A and B are shown apart, each in its own frame.
Chain A
Amino acid sequence: MKLLINIIVFGGLIAGINGLLRMNLGHIFSGNEILDTKWEYYQANKGRFNVLHFGGSTIANQVDCRQFDAILQPHYPSRSFNFGVGALNIPESFYMLEQVLKADTGDLEYVVFGVSGTTVYPKAFWESSRLQYWLTPGWSAEALYFQWRHRQPWHQKLKITAIVAYKFILNCFDYRYLRKFIHPPDIKTESFYLGEHRDGYTGTDLERWESYITDPPENSDPNRVIFLKNALQKIYHNQRDSAFNDQMLTHTAPYFDAQYTPGPPDPRFLGALERLEALADAKEIRIIYLVAPRLNWHFDILLPVVYTLDERDVIDLSSMKKYPFFYHADHALDMFHLNELGCEKYTRLAAEAFAEKIGR
């Protein structure tokens, strides 16, 4: 009994000190290379940027900062940074955006938030640090809420609940961020993750990804290689599997029919956005929401929320009626992403709409 009490008290102290440190230090470290590299770089170069493109892969691969800034130049001296990270969905994206806003020192004027719906956490995600670093008590509850709200079998929901609880405990004891104070970020990875022009835009150039995988020794970390190989295989598979794409097209089309009536918006989704807006207002930053075309069911939860937001703050490029070309094979890389031609059009339309929204 004495041993048990000692271990519990000791464990509590270790977790408690960790909580206190992290509360005061703010976000430092996620354990994910892409996210950490972008975070470190953006924090070190905050003064250089006044527009931040923030979100998942539809931001990371589809919003070319140089093209965006060039289109904006006649209207607004945009200097933008792409803080897109693949699969940065809600509520992880809410957490991360909150950290970005909190850490802002007054240079940022606009955030283009590539808002997404929820996704069922895939198995690879369970093991990854991407489902850990942000699991504070509050955000763990949010994570569970959205997973339970999602259409998936009961046993899956229970499994995810257990995983989130387990990852929450791991997060309480995660001190890896302390390394950052004595070990500077690995500059070798920056040019890859930050893109050619160090503005965070990485594009969808598959050859570049492939050469990254096969080019030792700089990138020879076996875990990363396996992960990227799997990702690439998936992309190739999806490209080939047109039957599946057709099925998804049929599934997604009704969201853009005239008869489509959105259900009530999710109150917690809206609540989180309101909190973020309040934080942004306090820092005099304006959030513009960008909705991307995708072939999956995230519109189910996303569109009712998007239609509730102030139209002046929304750039909606998702409509299959208004932008049918985004859903054509010649513009698509896979079900979720656009190819180079698609990205070029997407950035142009987003930049033009942005200029209009900010009234320039």
Chain B
Amino acid sequence: MLFNSLHFVIFFPLVAAAYFILPHRFRWALLLGASYYFYGAFKIEYLLLLFTSTAVSYVAAIRMKQAQHRQKKLWLWLAIGVNLGLLFFFKYLDFSIDSLNQVMGWFRMGLEFPLSHWLLPIGISFYTFQIVGYLLDVYFDVKEPERHPGIYALYVSFFPQLIAGPIERSTNLLPQFGKKIDYDYHRVVGGLRLMLWGFFKKLVIADNLAIVIDQVYADPGQFPGWVLLIATVFLVYQVYCDFSGYSDIAIGGARVFGIELMQNFNRPFAARSMQEFWKRWHISLASWVNDYVHTPLAYQKRHWKMWGALFSIMIAFLVIGIWHGASWNFVIWGLLFGIVLCLEYLTADMRQQLFRGWPRALVSTLAILYTFSIVVIVSIFFRAETFADAIYVVRHCFDLSTITASQLTGSGLWAMNIDPFWMVMGLGMIIGLEIIQLWERKERIHEVVGRLPKLWRWLIYGVVVVAILSFGNFDMKQFYYFQF
């Protein structure tokens, strides 16, 4: 079930109403049933996979607690192996076979393995990482294993964050399912307000930016450099609004039930370095990789000194890249981020000396521009259909020599098959969003709106709802991150 479907518009209030009517002790069962229904609505077969991952990790965590050192490790690797194995099988098998076939083709070995063409179960990367995080927490005694199978199954499948995160930590989410939660009008309204803002970002901003992006990225060779550049800037904002919109709906939806999920985005385009960017963008994944991959690896390789640090950064970003998708584009996308972070690590002292004495505001502005430019360039690999397309866009998007006055007119854009309305509208939405983000330096916009006088508050709700109903793209476009 998609958040932006009418199915969800009916489903969510019914579950929320039943949740507060039911006594506390039955609520986990309701949420679990609702979560399985939510996931099964995509494809009923997915449930079997979700159930297998849940059952294996539930049993393994309890066994780990009871086992001695070697056996404990065995249970850990068994459970991680099953979960990552399923992830590999459904997500990376065809990619691996295809890559192997290509390599064999280069060597003219005359052998080709058939592809499996298995359908990628939605959200598998998200819940697999959540499970692996839980198993590692139990293994390292950060968390006691959850004994209640229903509560544990709910931890894995909690519907607001099941499909596209935030990837929750067992220490944050599991204890909340045991708490008695009373109905609180202000909390529920706060959650709904955040959901509304999320829907606006997804349906109005992200989906409408996609109109120009889809057109340009379908055949980048047709377009001049400046159009490629604008489409790529649009792409950065599309992915941001799509994914942060989903996160807002997820966090807001969970808040209605009294469950607080972790923040997933924090004004990422205000970052002044790539390191800071990854503390603001997809926070739940970045912190997961930092805690479970980067930090342990850096510690383990500490005797390599600088090379150990660089190695752990590259491996962490390789994991982030591969997590996003089974294609070389994503591997390159992750590695590019890794390289930039390594360069930042190596030049930290030099940069500090270079900019000493410069006005702070100027340094900050330059740093923000630098970070954003890197994000724009790297994003090309995130979206391009093929590696060749990505290279083409990278090579041409800063080539402004082909720009002509006639291209900038409405008919000039039409001649390129680009609707000028969506071009202007896209730029307007991005500027509007940035103004709001500037405002959000101190407080999130939905919290500010929540404190306004009643009349103003309802007027804003009305405008946002009408904007969604009139400009929302209701063609059931999936959330971008569902593919991961």
Contact = CB atoms under 8 A, between A and B. Distances in A.
Do they bind each other? yes
Interface in A211-233: 216-218, 220, 223
B110 to A, nearest CB: 35
Interface stretch (A78-86, A114-122, A169-177, A240-248): A169-177
A23 interface: no
A45 B471 CA distance: 27
Nearest to B17: A4
Contacts of B466: 14, 175, 178
B470 A217 contact: no
A3 B419 contact: no
Nearest to A182: B421
A218 B417 contact: yes
B319 interface: no
A221 to B, nearest CB: 9
A176 B185 contact: no
A322 interface: no
Q: Interface size for chain A: under 10, 10 to 19, 20 to 34, or 35 or more residues?
A: 20 to 34
- Name the 6 nearest CB pairs between A and B, nearest first: A175-B470, A178-B470, A175-B469, A183-B421, A175-B466, A173-B469
Interface of B: 6, 185, 188-189, 215, 218-219, 414, 417, 419, 421, 458, 461-462, 465-466, 469-471, 475
B417 A10 contact: no
A187 B421 CA distance: 12
Contacts of B417: 188, 217-218
8 contacts: A10-B465, A170-B6, A175-B466, A178-B466, A178-B470, A179-B471, A184-B421, A187-B414
A269 to B, nearest CB: 32
Interface in A182-208: 182-184, 186-188
Nearest to A221: B475
B421 A10 contact: no
A111 B414 CA distance: 35
Contacts of B421: 182-184
B470 A179 contact: yes
A247 to B, nearest CB: 38
A184 B424 CA distance: 13
A217 B215 contact: yes
A172 B461 CA distance: 17
A173 B462 CA distance: 12
Given A182-B421, A186-B419, A174 B185 contact: no
Contacts of A179: 470-471
A141 interface: no
A103 interface: no
A145 to B, nearest CB: 25
A217 B185 contact: no
Given A182-B421, A217-B417, A176 B470 contact: yes
A223 B465 CA distance: 26
Contacts of B471: 178-179
A227 to B, nearest CB: 12
A17 B419 CA distance: 30
A177 B466 CA distance: 11
Contact of A217 (B189, B218, B419, B462): B218
B469 A176 contact: yes
Given A3-B189, A183-B421, A174 B469 contact: yes
B185 A2 contact: yes
B219 A14 contact: no
Contacts of B470: 175-179
A13 interface: yes
Interface in A41-63: none
Interface in A148-178: 170, 173-178
A179 B421 CA distance: 11
A218 B465 CA distance: 32
A14 B189 CA distance: 18
Contacts of A217: 215, 218-219, 417
Contacts of A173: 469
A201 B7 CA distance: 39
Contacts of B185: 2-3
B412 to A, nearest CB: 14
